[in-house]
Amino acid sequence: MTNNGRKIKIQVQNLTKRFGDLLVLNNISFNVYEGEFLCIVGPTGCGKTTFLNVLTKLHPATEGDIYIDGEPANPQKHNISFVFQEPSTMPWLTVEQNIRYGLEVKKVPEEEIKKRLNQVMELVGLKDFRNYYPRQLSASMDQRVVIARAFAINPDLLLMDEPYSQLDIKLRYYLEDEVIRIWREMKRTVIFVTHNIEEAVYLAERILILTPKPATIKKEIKVDLPRPRNFADPEFVNIRNQVTEMIKWW
Amino acid sequence: MATRIVAAPGKIRSKNNSLVWLSAASLVVFFIIWYGLVESGIISKALLSPPAEVLTTFISKFSNRAPDGATLGAHFKTSLTLALTGYITAVVVGAPLGLLMGWYKKVDSIVKPIFEVIRPIPPIAWIPLAILWFGIGLPAKAFIIWLSAFVPSVINSYAGIKLTEPVLINMSRTFGATNWETFLRVGVPSALAMVFTGLRLSLSSAWMTLVAAELLAATEGLGYMIQMGRTLARPDVIIVGMLTIGLTGAAMAFILERFEGKLAPWRRS
């Protein structure tokens, strides 16, 4: 797994999760490099959500662990952001207060909070809406608040769990480009989980393909295409077909 | 185009106006039927006073102590003090307790068995015990009102915080927030709407129990005034007392609603 001499940021080692007799995650190991955009695809119901919940320490792992910069991951110590599938803005807070939430939990000094707020709100284009409540926003603006909140804490690890699966195609394309733009600007390490193969090929530097339950890594595919990527590019189509075959033939 | 923009708000206003007229008309019809029933002799004046007499009694009761020993203002003040004492102490304890029970399983396990048994006991069933413990002064009645307001404020806060979106709790936890921090900053605000429903139900429950408590043991208060009206066969006094209770209850609900609008601005449309 050479990666142009990039530093390893995240190490997942022998991650296993059992619910009683049911084995959901089977000995998963992989690395993520600093500033990498990694996509994980797998068939529906392969345990992706469990995988993410274990990664973020919402659930304890049965065996194995995840390390950030060589230390066991700890949400209280490391900066971990999670962009969920469902809308996750807090309806009782304004756009600005929502974005502040992570920074305040992390006890970032007020001056620094102001600086970062301005930076991310500029980046996602929400400056003029800072005093709006989520109820007053469109679905895409709401997702942008969530993304701004996730990036604002300068996460060591940003996890995205099918964040666009409930949006229409036009909005999805738009937000995919947005997240790539913000990722390039902020230079964060991202794990993006999706069941949409085209989306994975469009976004990822590297794709991990999971097997059906109990999930383990079936294959790793590098996507070394220039951005912005073209869905009709023969090379793009080739990689997409490759991933599709991997998912189809278990 | 311009005229349409100007015309639109006017249309809305005239529609609102017609609704106001409808409400006014319903009141007028109500009073006419009331008046008709009494004046035509279908209902005896000894049982139901005509509207005009109720109004006269209402006005005179502001300064007149007869026939029940105190002015309307004095009765009102006694009842309001009593109800608010019981109500405020109940919700100050009840709402936080419900929130904690809904969030922390341990608190739930400790409190729930006792609470589930106390919950179905109607507040007035506590009256004998309350009198035994506290006599017939303010504490006994305040205790019964406290119980009646306590139960709905606990139940609704409990149910409200249980409904907190799991995704918001997970979001807070992945940011590294402690459980207590998540409780305060995610659980409580998300439960606020239900907490307020509890506060409203508690208020009406407290106000209704007040009258029951005063009917039994009191020397002053709106419930006592109604009771005296019955003893003295004065339906006008009874109705004045009832109307005061009704109007006050409505006014308190209105104030609470305003307060909720101030505290939860994100729900304002």
Q: Assess A106–B contact: CB distance below 8 Å, yes or no.
A: yes
- The pLDDT of residue B176 is 92
A77–B173 C-beta distance less than 8 A: no
Contact A37, A15 (CB under 8 A): no
pLDDT in tens, B59-100: 988 888 878 888 999 999 989 999 999 999 999 999 999 999
pLDDT in tens, B184-214: 999 999 999 999 999 999 999 998 888 888 8
**B13 or B238: which leads in pLDDT:** B238
Q: Which of B168, B172, B175 to mutate to test the interface with A (most CBs of A within 10 A)?
A: B175
B190–A88 C-beta distance less than 8 A: no
A58: nearest CB among B165, B173, B178: B173
B171–A88 C-beta distance less than 8 A: yes
Question: Range(s) for CATH 3.40.50.300 in chain A?
Answer: 1-78+156-250
A105: nearest CB among B181, B189, B192: B181
Could you tell me the CA-to-CA distances from B133 to B46, B114, B146 in Å, in that order? 39, 20, 15
Under 8 Å CB-to-CB from A173, ≥6 apart: which residues?
Answer: none
Residues in chain A with CB shorter than 8 Å from the CB of B173 are 58, 75
Choose from A167-171, A204-208, B44-48, B134-138 the range with maximum mean pLDDT: A204-208
Contact B235, B189 (CB under 8 A): no
Q: φ, ψ for residue A32 (rounded to 5)?
A: -125, 135
In chain B, which residue's Cα lies nearest the Cα of A54? B174
The SS3 of residue A197 is helix
For the domain spanning A1-78+156-250, the CATH number is: 3.40.50.300
- The pLDDT of residue B136 is 77
What mean pLDDT value characterizes chain B? 87
Determine the Cα–Cα distance for residues B28 and B113; give it in Å rounded to an integer.
51
Looking at the predicted structure, is the pLDDT value of residue B9 above 60?
no
A153–B189 C-beta distance less than 8 A: no
Looking at the predicted structure, is the pLDDT value of residue B3 above 60?
no
Under 8 Å CB-to-CB from B118, ≥6 apart: which residues?
Answer: B147, B151
Q: Which amino acid is at A237?
A: V
**Confidence at B268, pLDDT banded by 50, 70, 90:** low
A90: nearest CB among B168, B170, B177: B168
Task: State the CB neighbour count (10 A cutoff) for residue B159.
Answer: 16
Task: State the CB neighbour count (10 A cutoff) for residue B232.
Answer: 13
Q: Which residue has the tokens 């007229």?
A: B21
Contact A152, A116 (CB under 8 A): yes
Residues in chain A with CB shorter than 8 Å from the CB of B264 are 92
**B67: preceding bond cis by omega (within 30 degrees):** yes
A133: nearest CB among B167, B171, B266: B266
Question: How much of chain B, in percent, has pLDDT values that exceed 90?
Answer: 49
pLDDT in tens, A210-245: 888 888 888 899 999 888 898 889 999 999 999 888
Under 8 Å CB-to-CB from B40, ≥6 apart: which residues?
Answer: none
Q: Assess A82–B contact: CB distance below 8 Å, yes or no.
A: yes
- The pLDDT of residue B8 is 47
- DSSP annotation of B40 reads T
As for the ipTM of the complex, it is 0.88
CA distance B55 to chain A (A): 46
Task: State the CB neighbour count (10 A cutoff) for residue B93.
Answer: 15
Contact A42, A196 (CB under 8 A): no
Ranges of each domain in chain B: 2-43, 57-267
For the domain spanning B57-267, the CATH number is: 1.10.3720.10
Extract the tokens encoding A84. 């969920």
In terms of C-beta distances under 8 Å and separation of at least 24 residues, what long-range contacts does A230-233 make, across chains too?
A231/A198, A231/A202
Strand partners of residue A15: A28
A105: nearest CB among B170, B175, B266: B175
Extract the tokens encoding B251. 């006014």
Chain A to chain B, count of Cβ pairs less than 8 Å apart?
63
Low-confidence ranges of chain A (pLDDT < 50): 1-2, 250
